[in-house]
Structure 1
């Protein structure tokens, strides 16, 4: 409360003189909600003035409209009026029915001619008001048949529309209750529209509904914000937001309405030129929001007014354009914006005094907004119906096409079955031919291996057999000589000669036959035959180990023994210039298909011998290393050569069937493919490491215990 004591005598005289010269607001018993616009005096200074300056001012001007509309003002506006009470009840209420004013301050005189002030407005928390109502309601007390002069200071960033009335308390509260009922109906309609369209949005997921829901929310908050209910019930302790809220909600609502129109009417396609105007208006509205947020509220309000005016006319024009193009839902949009524009015009005409200030004109915008929102809801529903009809037509067409496709498919199925039967027969025949070709290729590989095996066996057995054969004739000759010697000794022994004579003849005969050398030669020949026979037996044993007639059954086998037997078979492939290094480790018996593993060893060793020969020919330097070891539960066999090696491309393709780097007639290209599949059958791995000119190393890793479940 601010108190100003006007002590100077000339000021007292001035006040009484001014009071006597003013038009008076006369209150009688029949007075009900008396609007005092024609009984007030207005002062619109160029700068902010103090109350003392205002009280002394002679620049007040009589106002002649029932509802003052002072437009935008940068500074506070002062209103002066005198109340003459002719009733018994001194208690009256002053009602300023425009809730979005920033500051409303009443200066009231008391019995000592001192003025006290009461300050309300959006800049103050709502709870500081005398009455719990959005309007600015002040108590004024004027005794019977007396008069008092009051001053109102009003300031706002928005337009100054001042429906000021003085009433008896009962009359005012009756009128305000009536207004509250109408506002409640609007709020109810707004909430229903909001919830209904929000539910529809979640159901259909149409972005048009989202924009419309935002628009409904902002329009509702703007309208009830103008009535002051948002400040009263939603953010009563946030004056800083309240002074900006109406502008912000109006701008966001307009932006949402434009986005809704662009989406709903497809303006980028149906009205591309005018769509650019809508985009420009959205830019203006966004700029208005920015100005308001940073505190330039009055500038933001002015820009908002201009933008929304353009917005209203633009939406009507673009709706008409789209409707003229034959898009049926546009008629609801055109009608809705037209209703809203008519409501805005009536509201504006009321503000400038062309139309009277009454219940209809003061609430016409709320009613127009409800009708507009309802029509837009009808537009959305109509579009859904159109989509539904189009969908039904599309479904009918799709059904017809589906039936036609079904008929075609049945006919095609018959033809397809015939062709499938024919093709199946061709494929079966091709499969038979392929199996025959595969069998022939496998047999060819087997014959090649058999030829290699036969050559190896022949070479290995030929040497000891030749050794035995070469010793048989000399042994036969020596045995004949031995038999002749026995017969001669026997004849001498049976003769009548004396013992000394017999001994002499026998000694002479033995010396003649060189009997001692004969015995040595016989012993040497028998040893040679024994060695040849032993070597032959070893070769036969190695052949038996290598061939493993039981190769189709899993057996426990000694891989070192199998590798050694393979070396016996492959010995003829290794020239005397190739150095063989054997590094056999201690291996347990491995459960495997031994014969098939020996075939793998033979294929790798024969390729190694080929690579070494290609590099060194018959010269020294070639090396073949055989190594076995146990790594965890796996047996590892490493076969390494220092031959010509292989390129990366060859290394990648080496296990492919029919791939070979040998000359024509030297290989079928199946050996390594068979080796790879054999190791894979053992649940093992066959790894090759090589580089051109550096030789190659094949690493075989197979489990010691065969996992039958993995094969199955």
Structure 2
């Protein structure tokens, strides 16, 4: 989930930091020389990313939750973005056109940002909890796709400012949306926010370095990778919490279903028992209730007709009395049986011993 954001910013911010912080459109090769990260750091970073991608893919096969599939897409395109930023993809995938790395990283970054937006929406359950925020996330996702498309068709003069604007819009949006979801009672959003912290710190460090506020050293140059690696660890805790939450919800649903089935079976047994036992025939049951609640003979007659489903006028016609007399005795029956409506009388007939 956070890698998703990591992917987004580590994509565009780390890559666009070339133009965000250095304000240039210099080749990626020049950027590489000023931000070179030793192969050990890159190896650890990519290794962690691949492990988490495989882990989440297995979770997807187990839980069938699209959230994990989006996460895998984020990780894969994040890796492609970083490879392009460091000029590695040009050496292995398009060696005949290594200059492609200068623009393709934005394409990959946009795709990763799309997955990031959809992942955040799914993780925070915005579709069910906050429909307007879900639409907003869809807006960011569409803009991310437009960024990828524009990187293939338009010049850097347009694409870089567009990417910079999109990063500045989406970066605080993810945090604000998650904070709002947490405020509204979605506990899992807390882990989403916590996982953002190390990456956000790394991003701030790189931005301050780009503004010449920090010296150049290995820690500063690797701050985003370090923050991303820590983010992966925290994200694993967030996913574990989500799995636990899903299991608890499933367990609660199973218990509720079992209780419901037990109640239905118990009700069926009572109904079967009342149908098979002479003592529980409506006439005999009514006689017992009449005796228990001191019903008069006329009230007992009317109660029997009510149980048989007759309406006031029908009862009056059958017993050769006025409808007002029926209503009068009916009110007395309600008071003596302590019921409010006719459906409650049926329940009393079945279950009042």
| Structure 1 segment 152-163 matched on structure 2, within 5 A | 163=34
Is the 2:192–2:235 Cα contact (8 Å) retained in structure 1? yes
- Matched residue SS, 1:71: coil
Q: Structure 2 CA distance, aligned partners of 1:224 and 1:264?
A: 27
Structure with greater helix share of residues: 2
Question: Aligned pair 1:71/2:61, yes or no?
Answer: no
| Cα distance between partner residues in 2 of 1:242 and 1:341 | 25
Gaps of 5+ in 2: 1-20, 279-353
Q: Which residue of 1 aligns with 2:40?
A: 181
CA distance, structure 2, for counterparts of residue 270 and residue 338 of structure 1: 24
Q: Alpha carbons of 1:402 and 1:268: their partners in 2 closer, same or farther (altered >3 Å)?
A: closer
Q: Does 1:309 align with 2:309?
A: no
- The structural deviation recorded for 1:388 is 0.9
Which whole-Å CA distance do the structure 2 matches of 1:418 and 1:319 have between them?
61
What number of residue pairs does the alignment pair up? 259
Number of the residue aligned with 1:589 = none
For residues 70 and 409 of structure 1, do their structure 2 counterparts lie closer, same or farther at Cα, with a shift above 3 Å needed? closer
Q: Distance in 2 between matches of 1:275 and 1:391?
A: 25
Structure 2 residue aligned with 1:239, among 78, 93, 98?
A: 98
Give the whole-Å Cα distance in 2 for the aligned partners of 1:249 and 1:212.
15
Is 2:178 the partner of 1:250?
no
Question: Which of 214, 218, 221 is the matching residue for 1:362?
Answer: 221
1:226 aligns with 2:85: yes
Shift in CA distance, 371/235, structure 1 to aligned 2, threshold 3 Å: farther
**Deviation, structure 1 residue 393:** 2.0
Aligned partner of 2:317 in structure 1 is none
More strand by share: 1
In 2: Cα distance, 1:393 partner to 1:296 partner: 55
2:190 equivalent in structure 1: 331
2:236 to 365, 377, 399: 377
Instruction: State the TM-score, normalized to the length of structure 1.
Output: 0.34
Question: 1:254, CA displacement in angstroms?
Answer: 1.1
Instruction: Say which of 72, 78, 81 aligns to 1:213.
Output: 72
Q: In the TM superposition, what is the alpha-carbon distance from 1:363 to its structure 2 partner?
A: 1.1
Structure 1 residue 295, shift from structure 2 partner: 4.1
Matches within 5 A, 1:386-401: 386-401=245-260
Q: Could you tell me which residue of structure 1 aligns to residue 18 of structure 2?
A: none
Does structure 2 conserve the Cα–Cα contact (< 8 Å) formed by 1:211 and 1:257? yes
Partner of 1:477: none
**Alpha-carbon distance in structure 1 between the residues aligned to 2:180 and 2:71:** 21
CA-CA distance at 1:302 after TM superposition: 2.5
Give the structure 2 partner of residue 198 of structure 1. Answer: 57
Q: Indicate if the aligned counterparts of 2:85 and 2:101 stay in contact, CA closer than 8 A.
A: no
Corresponding residue of 1:344: 203
Query: d(CA) in 2 for partners of 1:360 and 1:274?
Result: 37
The structure, 1 or 2, with the larger RCO (C-alpha pairs under 8 Å, 6+ apart) is 2
Partner of 1:411: 270
Structure-2-length-normalised TM-score: 0.66
Q: Deviations over 1:104-155 (max 9, x none)?
A: 6xxxxxxxxxxxxxxxxxxxxxxxxxxxxxxxxxxxxxxxxxxxxxxxxxxx
Matched residue, 1:285: 144
Cα distance in 1 between the residues matched to 2:107 and 2:235: 22
Alpha-carbon shift at residue 292 of structure 1 (Å): 0.8
The answer as to whether partners of 1:187 and 1:224 remain within 8 angstroms in 2 is: no
Show CA shifts across 1:334-366 (max 9, x none).
122333222111111112211111111111111
In 2, the alpha carbon distance for the partners of 1:345 and 1:367 equals 13
Shift of 1:186: 0.8
For 2:22 and 2:236, how far apart are their aligned partners in 1? 37
| Separation in structure 2 between the aligned mates of residue 336 and residue 218 of structure 1, nearest angstrom | 20
In 1, Cα distance between equivalents of 2:269 and 2:96: 76
Does the C-alpha gap of structure 1 residues 239 and 295 become closer, same or farther in structure 2, counting only changes over 3 Å?
farther
Secondary structure of residue in 1 paired with 2:38:
helix
Partner of 1:100: 28
Match of 1:260 in 2: 119
Higher Rg of the two aligned structures: 1
Q: Distance in 1 between matches of 2:70 and 2:106?
A: 19
Q: 1:236 to 1:418 in 2, by over 3 A?
A: farther
**Deviation of the 1:317 alpha carbon:** 0.5
- Structure-2 residue corresponding to 1:62: none
Question: Deviation of residue 187 (structure 1)?
Answer: 1.1
Whole-Å Cα distance in 1 between the matches of residues 79 and 170 of structure 2?
18
| Unaligned segments of structure 1, at least 5 residues | 1-68, 78-98, 105-159, 165-175, 420-712
Deviation at 1:260, TM superposition (A): 0.7
Instruction: Give 1:240 shift.
Output: 6.0
